[in-house]
Amino acid sequence: MTTFNSAEAYAPASMGNVGVGFDILGLAFCEPGDIVRVERRLDGTDIVIESIEGDGGVLPRDAAKNTASVAVKAFLKMIDASSGVCISLKKGLPLSSGLGSSAASAVAAVVAVNALFGEPLSCEELLPACLEGEALVSGYHADNVGPSLLGGITLITGTSIQDIYRLPVPENMHFALITPNIAVPTVEARAVLPQMISLKQMVSQTGAVARLIDALYRNDLQAVVQAMESDEVVEPARAMLMPLLNEARTLAKQKGALGLVISGAGPTLCAVCDSSKTAVHVADALQGLYDEAKIGGVARVTKVDQTGARVLNVL
């Protein structure tokens, strides 16, 4: 097995649910993302977190409590390696933001350590280790890990690679994201969800998911967004956690967006546009909305990342 002294990898942000597909749809954003660097330890077999940047000192430095190190441990077990590893994490993603922050850290770490050991596993074979890291924070599901690792828009029907399906990406799909300066932990966002829904709601929700997938295959962005906005179960339950949700949706459409949904568990909101120019106008308007409300936030313009996680360098 070819090994290196160090390796660095990048994993993109992701949006779980894609509006109406709770826990079964996800997509990767071109930006932002996390970068993880791993190095072989010559003085022991432990996994050590050497540094974390960009988290404001919030993330645990204990290797047993960080998604990146837990995922690396799972990978090393998969390849039956006992080497020690040092991990350096650069957070490009805000925490508790609805952008798949914990998933990106786990994915970037596993892709990096796989490169460190000469890539004994394929990208698809890395999924279980990534899921072990994600499970530490957000549960054992792949609506963020899948797209962050593989890229694109994905349908996720389980936790094995055979359960992840790549869906078509409309050519003119652009996003304006606004991440308000508040945190919505995934556990809190899940706690407000209804445990029971009516048969009528189930039929409506499954129909909307079917319309969304159909529209993707027809490259009909307008129909895609109409389906994305059709959630009658999750968004209504979480709306109270998202400041200015209705105002943001109205403003985004006034500026040319086709629609707006909550990204994952929120509070990031994702406006879908049909051009980069429109996305810039919408992002600027959303930034102004939250600044004027004294909430503040970070607006971004991005597209679907069709590549997924990748190795940046090995030495």
Quick one: CA torsion of 23, 72, 36, 161, rounded to 10 degrees? -40
Identify whether the C-beta of residue 145 lies closer than 8 Å to the C-beta of residue 131: yes
Residue 134 a catalytic site member: yes
Q: What token pair was written down for 40?
A: 């072989």
Task: Find the catalytic residue in 154, 186, 268, 302.
Answer: 186
List 134, 154, 268, 302, catalytic entry = 134
- Is 67 one of the catalytic residues? no
CA distance 201 to 57: 42
Biggest alpha carbon–alpha carbon distance for the chain: 61
CB atoms within 10 A of CB 307: 13
Question: What distance in Å separates the CA atoms of residue 178 and residue 202, rounded to the nearest whole number?
Answer: 30
DSSP symbols for 19-75: TT-TTTEEEEEEEEEEEEEEEEESS-S-EEEEEEESSTT-S--STTS-HHHHHHHHH
Written in H, E and C, the secondary structure of 102-129 is: HHHHHHHHHHHHHHHCCCCCCCHHHHHH
Helix (H, G, I), strand (E, B) or coil at 293: coil
- Give the residues across from 272 on adjacent strands: 175, 259
Nearest of 81, 205, 186 to residue 144 by alpha carbon: 186
Catalytic (active-site) positions:
134, 186
